[in-house]
Amino acid sequence: MGDSILVVNAGSSSIKFKLYRIEGADLLPSLSGGMSGIGGTPSLRVTDGRGAVLEDRRFDAAEVPDASAAQHHLSDWLGHHLGDATIVAVGHRVVHGGAAFAEPVLIDDAVLRRLETFIPLAPLHQLGNLDPIRVLRERRPDLPQVACFDTAFHRGHPELSDRFALPRFLHDEGVRRYGFHGLSYEYVAGRLREIAPETADGRVVIAHLGSGASLCALAGGRSQDTTMSFTALDGVPMGTRCGALDPGVVLHLIEHRGMTPAEVGHMLYYESGLLGLSGLSNDVRTLLASDRPEAALAVAFFCRRVAQAAAALAVTLGGLDAFVFTAGIGENAPEIRQRVIADLSWAGLILDNDANRSGVARLDASGSRAQIWIIPTDEERMIAGHTMRLLDRIAPGASA
């Protein structure tokens, strides 16, 4: 009774988890929470399926120095609070599946070793993703663990979308346009297929606009091209990441400003984007509420780049049947949606302003040449679904 799937989404400074109870073919969220502030001011917070707080506890930095320690604390907590629930499998978000993994995979020693070879491709994220897997393999060697990749959804994209205009040997060494946010795109594409199947078969651009942001072009529900590439820095500007940048700027910072590669990396990942442009905040809410010109510039820059990226992706698709907004900004910021679509009015996109303000699912006005949607994303549910299906394949009936 109470068979459940645990979803773990681990980063360098936080581990989030969500527990889903398996009810037939359905997955019902029963617990969610996580440890944040790892190595700084760690705290564990857990809520139940209705949002009631079950735990809110602070730790000393020395008690939770890294992701492994955090996973031990989470496992201990779950061990005491599961009630009649039994965890039958764990699904992990793993940022990088390299060129090899085009779908989720059951983790064994060989897979884990393979995933370690991708650490140089995403140093901050991949290390944090793998630590909890190792801890759980030590504590519960019998428990099936599944890796679900941010890159996998894009692995079938055409070769034109996979390459940089660099010497060929670099592509062979793995310097490729992998793309990210794949679990979000897969979930949103699946929801679009449920709500509007004919649209899902067409030419669709999804804009995942959260603290990380990218856009993806889909034809028939499959990724054709995306704005993030080798790393999660490319494409549109984000909360603190720069987005597409002339590589000459990086050379300039190193050669003429004397910055080390690590300093440049820190600047591009943590001090740029909306925060860098505005000098004020990485949060769109703060920028929209501000009357400072720098805040207005940052918002204008963001919206313009998102619209430009959508136009470029429409070239890949040979047209556009639907534009979908998702993630924190895409789902919650009507002013950003309005400005992005205004920049696409030349292509015949027309927003229904009342629908946009009220935040309903369908936003296009009559006469618009493409549909416009808001579809909330849910990467954790995508991971839980993948894990349940993989479990069924390896041990039919185990998740029944």
Please name the residue that has the structure tokens 């590669």: 261
| CB nearer ligand ADP, residue 45 or residue 222 | 45
Indicate the helix (H) or strand (E) that contains 15. Answer: strand 15-23
Q: What distance in Å separates the CA atoms of residue 184 and residue 208, rounded to the nearest whole number?
A: 8
Give the residue nearest to ligand ADP (CB): 328
Quick one: 135 or 341, whose CB is closer to ligand ADP?
341
The residues in 195-214 that bind ligand ADP, with binding defined as CB under 6 A, are 210-212
Q: Between residue 40 and residue 99, which ones bind ligand ADP under the rule CB under 6 A?
A: none
Report the residue number, 117 or 353, with the smaller CB distance to ligand ADP.
353
Angle of the 247-255 helix axis to the 261-270 helix axis, nearest 10: 130
CB neighbour list of residue 235: distance below 8 Å, 6 or more residues apart? 213, 214, 215, 226, 227, 228, 229, 243, 244, 309
Alpha carbon distance 382, 386 (integer Å): 6
Spot the catalytic one: 3, 150, 225, 234.
150
Check: CB of residue 182 under 8 Å from CB of residue 149: yes
- Per the annotation, the verdict on 76 as an active-site residue is no
Minimum CB separation of residue 300 from ligand ADP in Å reads 15
Q: Does 284 bind ligand ADP (CB under 6 A)?
A: yes
User: Which of residues 287 and 344 has its CB atom nearest to ligand ADP in the complex?
Assistant: 287
Does 13 sit near ligand ADP (CB under 6 A)? no
Strands (E), 162-276: 203-209, 213-219, 222-226
Query: In which order are the strands placed within the sheet that holds 15-23?
Result: 53-58, 43-48, 26-36, 15-23, 3-10, 86-94, 145-149, 105-106
Binding mask 325-364 for ligand ADP (x = CB under 6 A): --xxx--xx-------------------------------
Near ligand ADP by CB under 6 A: residue from 201, 263, 271, 283: 283
Burial group, residue 25, by CB count within 10 angstroms (0-12, 13-18, 19+): exposed
Give least dist CB 34 to ligand ADP, A.
12
The reply on whether position 295 binds ligand ADP by CB under 6 A is no
Q: How far is the CB of 377 from ligand ADP (least distance, A)?
A: 7
Q: Which residues bind ligand ADP (CB under 6 A)?
A: 210-212, 239, 283-285, 327-329, 332-333
Enumerate the active-site residues.
150
